[in-house]
Amino acid sequence: MTDFTELMQRAREAAAKAYAPYSKFQVGCALVTQAGGVFTGCNVENASYGLTICAERNAIFHAVATEGPQMRLASLAVIALGHEFPPCGACRQVIAEFAAPDAPVCFLQNGLLVTQTLAELLPSTFQL
């Protein structure tokens, strides 16, 4: 799936399933793997706030759990219901663990679908 509009729609559907009783900020992510798999995730919050998992990491971990440790990201889209934002810094670092620098990451900005490469979003990736 290379159609980012369709990927965004999958992300929107995932956002509707978010467990976000504390922030009310419902986030959904949809990604495509190099193997052609499509995975989604939503944010899942917790009364102990730090235990919350973001939608992007939820989707990425779901992809690894299904495809295994060789899973590589081809593209990723993220959206919040009623809000616009690019992925948080923690999720950018996790995306970098599984994606090439030129991997496209889609999100909404001023009502428009924006696509940036991972390298644009996270120019100085931490690597061991």
**CB nearer to ligand THU: pick between 24 and 72:** 24
Q: Note if 67 is an active site residue.
A: no
User: Choosing from 13, 56, 67, 120, which is the catalytic residue?
Assistant: 56
Residue 44: count of CB within 10 angstroms of its CB: 17
* Contact residues for ligand THU, defined by CB under 6 A: 20, 23, 25, 27, 43, 45, 52, 54-56, 87-88, 91
Q: Are 11 and 40 in contact (CB under 8 A)?
A: yes
State the minimum distance, in angstroms, from the CB of residue 84 to ligand THU. 12
Closest CA to 43 of 67, 71, 14, 63: 14
- DSSP classification of residue 51: G
State the minimum distance, in angstroms, from the CB of residue 10 to ligand THU. 15
**CB nearer to ligand THU: pick between 71 and 80:** 80
**CB nearer to ligand THU: pick between 50 and 69:** 50
- Phi, psi of 127, rounded to the nearest 5 degrees: -135, 140
State the minimum distance, in angstroms, from the CB of residue 81 to ligand THU. 11
Interatomic CA distance for residues 71 and 62, integer angstroms? 10
- DSSP classification of residue 72: -
* Active site (catalytic) residues: 56
